[in-house]
Structure 1
Amino acid sequence: MYEPDVSETALPRRERERLMRRRAMLEAARAVFAEKGYLQATVDEIAQRAEFGKGTLYNYFTGGKEDLLFAIFDEIYDDLYHLIVRSFSPERTRQYPTRELFEQFIASCFQFFLDRQDLFKILMKEAHRMIFGDDPEKTAYFLRQKERINAALVPPLETAMRRGELKPLPAQAVAHMIMGNINGCQMHMMLECREDPSCCPVEETAQSMARFLTTMLFDGLLADPAGVRPSPERPTS
C-alpha cells in the first residue's frame, strides 16, 4: 500500500488526496501495461483498475494512455537517478573502496530492473519505438534522461580518479560505458528469463551479474591484468 512521504503529509488535505488519486492511476497503468502490453492496454481498463471514472483519469492525464506512459518513465528515471545518488553518498564513499562501491551499485541496478521486470519489458519496447520514431520531441526526451542518469555517475567517477583508484579517463565517457554495459546485461537477463522462467533466484542473479560486470569493467579480458604478456611468436615458414 502506498504511504505518502513526509513532504506530502505537510500538504493541504485536498492536495494530498489529489496525489493519492494520481498515484493510484499510475499504479493501475503499470499493472495493465505489464499484463496487456502498452498497445493493447486501454484507458477504460486502467480507469477501472484504479476504481475511477474515465473522465476523472483524463482530468489528471489529459493525454490519456501516452501521458500515463511518460509519467511512468519519469518515475523510473527519477528512481534510478536517486539510486545512483544514494549508492555514492559521501558516507558510502568514505566507507567502501571504489570497486566495492561500484559492485554494490551495479547489483542494485540489476535488482531495480528485476523487481520491475514485466514492466521494464514494455518500457524498453516503447522507448525503442519512440527513440527511433518520427517525433523529435520524444527522441529528445529519452536523450535528456539518458544524459541525466550518466551525469549523476560522473562525480563518483571523478572522485575515484582524483584518488588514483581509477585511471584518469574522461568521466562522462566512462559513465556512458558503465550504464551501457548495465543495460546490455539487463537485456541479456530479460531474454534468459524469457527462455527459462525457472532460472536462478532474482537476488542471486543480480549479485552474480554484478560480480561478472565489475570484473569485466575493472579487470578487462586480460588473463594477467597486472601486466601485458608478450604476444606469442608467429611461426616462420
Structure 2
Amino acid sequence: MTSTTPDPGLVARLRAAGCVFAEDEAALLEAEPVSSQEREAMVVRRVAGEPLELILGWAEFCGLRIRVAPGVFVPRQRSALMVDLAVRAAGRGAVRRVLDLGCGTGALGAAVAARVPAAEIWATDIDPAAVACARENLPPDRVLLGDLYDPLPDGLEFDVIVANAPYVPSAEIRNMPPEARDHEHHVALDGGADGLDVQRRVIEQAPKHLTPGGVLVIESGQEQAPVTARLMREQGLVAEIHHDEELYATAVTGTV
C-alpha cells in the first residue's frame, strides 16, 4: 500500500459501489504497477462486484502475498488463528510434516511454512482449480488432487493437520456475501445440512494420519464448535475450543 492519500474520486466510486474499506482498496489499486487504462479496467471490475483479491491476483494473509485464482476460496483473515494454533503445536517438539487439508490456495500451509521453515508441507484439495492455485504457493509436487486424505501416499503421518473444511450449512450459502457466494466454488463453502458433513469425515479419519501427540486444527463457527469438539472426543482426541475476539475467529484442536 502506498503512503500517499488515495484519489478521493476513486474512493468515492468504490464507496458508492458498497466497498466498506474503500480507502484501503483504492490505495491497493493505485499501488499496482499498471497503466492508467489497465487500472481503470480493474476499478470497473471492482465496482461491478468482482472480489478485489481476484482483480489483484493475490490476497494478503499472515504477512504473505498468496496467489489467488477464479473460483478458489480466498483466505480469510480469521484463519490466522489456525496458523497460530498450528505453530503453537509445532513448538511442542520437532515437526516433520504438516498437512493443509482441503487447502484452497494453500494459504494455511504457506503461512505455517513461513513460521516453521523446517516443516515439510503437504496439501490436498478435491477442486482442480484449487490444486493448480496452491501449487503456486507451495512446493507443487506435494500438492495433490483428491478427496481429503485419499491422494496421500500410504503410511504418511503428520504432526499437524490444518483443515479449513467448509462449514456453512447448505441453506445459508444464499446469505453469504456475494464475493464468496458468486465467485467461489460451492464445494469450498457447502458443509451440508448442519455445516459439519465434511468436518465429520476429516475428524473420523484424522487419528490414523496423525503421529503420536499430533494435532488436528479445524476452523469452526462459534455455535458449531462444541459439536466439533464432541466429534473429536468420539474419535479419542483431546479437544479444546479456541476463540480470538480480535479476529472474530473460532477453531478447535484435537490432540492424539
Give TM-score, length-normalised by structure 2. 0.29
Higher relative contact order (CA 8 A, sep 6+): 1
Higher helix share: 1
TM-score, length basis structure 1: 0.30
Q: Based on CA coordinates, which of the two structures has the bigger radius of gyration?
A: 1
- Quick check: which one's strand share is greater? 2
